[in-house]
Amino acid sequence: MLQEIIMAGFGGQGIMSMGQLLTYAGMLENKHVAWIPSYGPEMRGGTANCGVTISDREISSPVIFEPTAAIIMNRPSLDKFELTVKPGGFILVNSSLIEQKVQRTDIKACYIPANELAEGLGSSRVSGMVILGALLELTKVVSFDSVEESLKKVLPEYRYNLIPLNRQALEKGAGVVRQAMKFAVANPR
Taking the C-alpha atoms of residue 8 and residue 98, their distance in angstroms, rounded to an integer, is: 13
Burial (Cβ within 10 Å: 0-12, 13-18, ≥19) of residue 105: exposed
Taking the C-alpha atoms of residue 89 and residue 76, their distance in angstroms, rounded to an integer, is: 20
Q: What is the end-to-end Cα distance of the chain in Å, rounded?
A: 30
Residues 6+ apart with CB under 8 A from 117: 127, 130, 169, 172, 173, 176
Stretch near other proteins under the rule CB under 8 A, chosen from 56-64, 114-122, 129-137, 141-149: 56-64
What string marks each residue from 57 to 76 as x (binds other proteins by CB under 8 A) or -? -xxxxxx-x-----------
Contact 158, 152 (CB under 8 A): no
One of 7, 8, 34, 130 touching other proteins (CB under 8 A): 34
Q: How far is the CB of 3 from other proteins (least distance, A)?
A: 15
Comparison of 44 and 189: residue with beta carbon closer to other proteins = 44
Q: How far is the CB of 53 from other proteins (least distance, A)?
A: 10
Comparison of 58 and 99: residue with beta carbon closer to other proteins = 58
Residue 36 in contact with other proteins, rule: CB under 8 A: yes
Q: How far is the CB of 128 from other proteins (least distance, A)?
A: 18
Residues 6+ apart with CB under 8 A from 138: 69, 90, 92, 108, 110, 177
Comparison of 63 and 181: residue with beta carbon closer to other proteins = 63
> Where does 52-143 have alpha helices with state H?
75-81, 114-120, 127-139
Q: How far is the CB of 100 from other proteins (least distance, A)?
A: 27
Contact 3, 29 (CB under 8 A): no
Residue 23 in contact with other proteins, rule: CB under 8 A: yes
Stretch near other proteins under the rule CB under 8 A, chosen from 16-24, 74-82, 90-98, 107-115: 16-24
Residues in contact with other proteins by CB under 8 A are 20, 23-24, 27, 33-37, 39-40, 58-63, 65
